Amino acid sequence: MERLQNLIDGTLRPAQSGRWLDVHAPATGEVFAQLPDSDEHDVELAVQAAKRAAPGWNALGREGRSKVLLKLSELIERDLDEFARAESRDNGKPLSLARKVDIPRAVANFRFFATAILHFPSEAHLMDDVAVNWTDRQPIGVVGCISPWNLPLYLFTWKIAPALAAGNCVVAKPSEVTPLTAYRMSLLCEEAGMPPGVLNIIHGLGPKVGAAITAHSGIPAISFTGGTRTGAEIARVAAPMFKKLSLELGGKNPVLVFADCDFEEMLATTVRSSFTNQGQICLCGSRILIHRSIYDRFKEAFVERVKALRVGDPDDPASDLGAVVSKDHMEKVLAYIALAKEEGGRVLCGGERVVLEAPLKDGWYIAPTVIEGLDGRCRTNQEEIFGPVVTLQPFDDEEQAVAMANHTPYGLAAVVWTRDLKRSHRVARALQAGIVWVNCWMIRDLRTPFGGMKQSGVGREGGVDALRFFTEAKNVCIKL
Ligand code: NAD
């Protein structure tokens, strides 16, 4: 059985503890690999290596660092198919999705930040004849990057790429649930010309490795994507140490469907925004709010489309949904469906585990589920489920729709469907969400600020926001 390794100081090695954790294939439920069960001792080695490497990496300059990151992006692209297979096997997502979205986006993340750093502008502020100020932005030194399992390589590289481009050395922790592609990437670092110690990848459990990164005094900045509860724990530990924090957390995203929308386009996109990646994208819309005048038409057409979705072997190009990521997660999602019923919800389709034929019979599959009859205050409509489950609720007017959309502790993303230009502006501005899509979903320009309001996070990633996060600004004032 394959045993994955940590990357520390340019060498691949097991955890110092000598312990291992199992990696499961969600499609079959079987164990297919092991990852190092690392702890604070491995993190310590990584921090020391990163500190030693930092001056040299910074001295390479933007051009030098850019070349290494571009090379790494080329190598991942060269091996795209192998990466996509690893991602699908580890996560349970359809192979077609990993090929089309996850791995191309990881390639794009490196390419984008490798070139963005070349164009990252310096600012200057002239005070008439008095003085000139210029903003010096220096790398922080060693930074920590912690990522989740839903878009494994996509989100891992989304953090690492800007951190490295800005001149930092990185101690990174992929999710223990999906460690495979981060490990595959670590095998390419030497070929890409990455000096030892610049990128260190430590595998293991969140409360051990993630907590050690968070608490380490030699890591003054942490970029984290994951659950809100974990984000709160990281903030609790990091705040008294005055660490810089970027927290990208959970969501309970609303989709607002007005009667004047392009119905067909809305319908096709809403099926995608509900169930892509088995609903395990932080940006999926999970609460669909529909104008009462078209509620029945929407319900009928939507449920028909959802019933036609195929849950199946992730390797089969005909599968629309693969497996959810773990047994625990499947049980959590099924428990929420049971809760929805207890709260008075009516399951219009789905609502249960799907058992496929051998060799997939022990895999973790859930039928795409649509529920109606619940108001916005119940737990089903307040808490993040993060699976293939959506609820339908009618609204009577725009004001009510916005109030319903904003009525959760989260504020990550929202989708608005209307042909009325004025309404699209009004509603987009009134929504408490870091990202609003109008008549579309998941169109991503990597230059735009990405992140959430309220309990969905603190700070923004993407474009100059990420490069600013991973640098310290210093104002230098020179008297004229
Ligand atoms: P999680 O919070 O359980 O884990 C995320 C990462 O944090 C993992 O690497 C984990 O090992 C680590 N971790 C766990 N405990 C830790 C601790 N005490 N200290 C430091 N690190 C720790 O989240 P998950 O279940 O892997 O991912 C799903 C969640 O991620 C959902 O809530 C989803 O909405 C969220 N998410 C948010 C975004 C976004 O951009 N806002 C994107 C994707 C996923």
Residue 55, domain CATH? 3.40.605.10
Is-catalytic flag, 248?
A: yes
Over residues 217-226, the mean pLDDT reads 98
17 with 142, same domain: the answer is yes
CA of 3 to the centre of ligand 1 (A): 23
For the chain, what is the mean pLDDT?
Answer: 98
361 with 421, same domain: the answer is yes
pLDDT of residue 292: 98
pLDDT of residue 166: 98
Inter-residue contact 436 to 443 (CB < 8 Å)? no
**Residue tagged 């108001």 (tokens):** 375
319 with 400, same domain: the answer is yes
374 with 463, same domain: the answer is no
387 lines ligand 1 (CB under 6 A): no
Domain assignment of residue 139, yes or no: yes
320 lines ligand 1 (CB under 6 A): no
Which residue, judged by its Cα, is nearest atom 8 of ligand 1?
175
CA of 174 to the centre of ligand 1 (A): 10
Pocket test for ligand 1, best of 147, 282, 324, 465 (most atoms within 8 A of CB): 282
Q: What is the pLDDT of residues 412-437, one digit of tens each?
A: 999 999 999 999 999 999 999 999 99
Domain assignment of residue 123, yes or no: yes
287 with 426, same domain: the answer is yes
The Cβ of residue 295 has, within 10 Å, a number of other Cβ atoms equal to: 18
Residue 276, domain CATH? 3.40.309.10
Over residues 67-83, the mean pLDDT reads 98
Q: What is the pLDDT of residues 146-174, one digit of tens each?
A: 999 999 999 999 999 999 999 999 999 99
Q: What is the pLDDT of residues 322-381, one digit of tens each?
A: 999 999 999 999 999 999 999 999 999 999 999 999 999 999 999 999 999 999 999 999
pLDDT of residue 65: 98
251 lines ligand 1 (CB under 6 A): yes
Q: Which residues contact 39 (CB under 8 A, 6 or more apart)?
A: 15, 16, 17, 204, 208, 209, 212
Banded model confidence at residue 190, pLDDT cuts 50, 70, 90:
very high
18 with 133, same domain: the answer is yes
Is-catalytic flag, 282?
A: yes
Residue 91: C-alpha distances to residues 212, 325, 360, 444 (Å): 25, 5, 14, 22
Report pTM. Answer: 0.97
pLDDT of residue 303: 98
195 with 267, same domain: the answer is no
110 with 130, same domain: the answer is yes
For 421, the domain range is 253-445
Domain assignment of residue 450, yes or no: no
148 lines ligand 1 (CB under 6 A): yes
